[in-house]
């Protein structure tokens, strides 16, 4: 595709909450596996007044912008507030929204994501939300869209009788559905547990893994990363295992 030879600028919005180790892995993985025709601009939104690790994050790449968001929101609402604030600072046509507990694992990840955009998909994601209480949408833990579309909706979750019926970013997918805009979600081991032809290294690592059409692992999501960082949950892959695995991928 000739469009893939065009220089692309992508803003990466990363909500953070006292999460230096996760945010550092996230940025460094994008930096390592960024194709030569793509320039990335990282917008880290710290959902507190904490600046204790700001300098170390900003030093990772000259294109890192740090924003403190002294919000009263917590959890999903805080994540939504960070995305909305981050969008105000985006100066690129394309924007990638993600959680801080993700890791890019292959240079073809962004190449394939951008290719799907140029094929006519307005949102390209890495995981599909299967929660039966919600509308069924591409999860905001890792998705690309364009700034024009991103600013058409708000990102706050929606509740009905104390049950969350729309998660963070679901309104983006709902807008696409209502306006007949194409979307695309890569296969991953969460939505497709039958995927088995992964290398041994990845097969035994129990996190959600986004894969290519050839089942190459492109992108991983720890899940509940901030809770694990704070020791509040320790299921499946724990924080030490995540850090060790990702550091190996990044420095190899």
CATH (domain of 131): 3.90.550.10
- pLDDT, average across residues 215-242: 94
The string of pLDDT tens digits covering residues 108-141 is 999 999 999 999 999 999 999 999 999 999 999 9
pLDDT confidence of residue 4? 53
Residues β-bridged to residue 123:
145, 183
* Tens of pLDDT, residues 137-171: 999 999 999 999 999 999 999 999 999 999 999 99
Q: Domain containing 234: what range?
A: 2-251
Q: Specify the pLDDT at position 1.
A: 42
Bridge partners of residue 140, in order along the sequence: none
What is the torsional sign of CA 52, 47, 14, 163? positive
Q: What is the DSSP letter of 181?
A: -
**What sections of the chain are H helices per DSSP?**
20-32, 54-58, 75-87, 108-118, 147-150, 170-178, 200-203, 225-229, 239-251
d(CA 130, CA 23): 26
Q: Return d(Cα 252, Cα 69) in angstroms, integer.
A: 34
* Residue-level pLDDT at 127: 97
Give the Cα separation of 44 and 66 in Å (integer). 5
Tens digits of per-residue pLDDT, 27-58? 999 999 999 999 999 999 999 999 999 999 99
The phi, psi pair for 176, rounded to 5°, reads -65, -40
- What integer pLDDT is reported at residue 2 of this predicted model? 43
Total domains in the chain come to: 1
Residues 142, 222: contact at Cβ < 8 Å? no
Residues 162 and 83: beta-carbon distance below 8 Å: no
pLDDT band at 196 (very low <50, low <70, confident <90, very high): confident
Dig out the tokens for 91 from the structure.
């100066």
Going from the C-alpha of 233 to that of each of 29, 75, 80, 82, 199, the distances in angstroms are: 24, 15, 22, 23, 28
**For strand 94-98 and strand 8-16, is the pairing parallel, antiparallel, or unpaired?**
parallel
């Amino acid at each position: 595709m000739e469009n893939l030879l065009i220089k692309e600028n992508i803003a990466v919005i990363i909500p953070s909450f006292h999460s230096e180790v996760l945010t550092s892995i996230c940025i460094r993985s994008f930096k390592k596996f960024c194709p030569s025709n793509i320039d990335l601009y990282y917008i880290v939104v710290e959902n507190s007044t904490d600046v204790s690790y700001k300098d170390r994050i900003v030093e990772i790449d000259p294109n890192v912008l740090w924003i403190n968001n002294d919000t009263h929101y917590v959890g999903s609402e805080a994540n939504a507030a960070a995305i909305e604030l981050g969008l105000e600072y985006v100066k690129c046509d394309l924007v990638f929204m993600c959680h801080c507990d993700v890791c890019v694992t292959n240079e073809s990840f962004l190449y394939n994501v951008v290719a799907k955009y140029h094929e006519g998909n307005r949102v390209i994601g890495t995981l599909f939300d299967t929660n039966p209480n919600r509308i069924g949408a591409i999860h905001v833990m890792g998705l690309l869209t364009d700034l024009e579309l991103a600013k058409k909706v708000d990102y706050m979750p929606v509740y009905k009788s104390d049950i969350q019926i729309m998660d963070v970013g679901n309104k983006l997918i709902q807008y696409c559905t209502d306006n007949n805009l194409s979307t695309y979600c890569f296969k991953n081991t969460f939505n497709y547990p039958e995927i088995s032809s992964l290398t041994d290294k990845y097969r035994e690592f129990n996190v959600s893994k986004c894969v290519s059409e050839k089942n190459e692992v492109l992108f991983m999501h720890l899940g509940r990363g901030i809770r694990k960082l704070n020791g509040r949950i320790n299921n499946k892959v724990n924080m030490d295992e995540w850090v060790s695995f990702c550091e190996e991928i990044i420095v190899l």
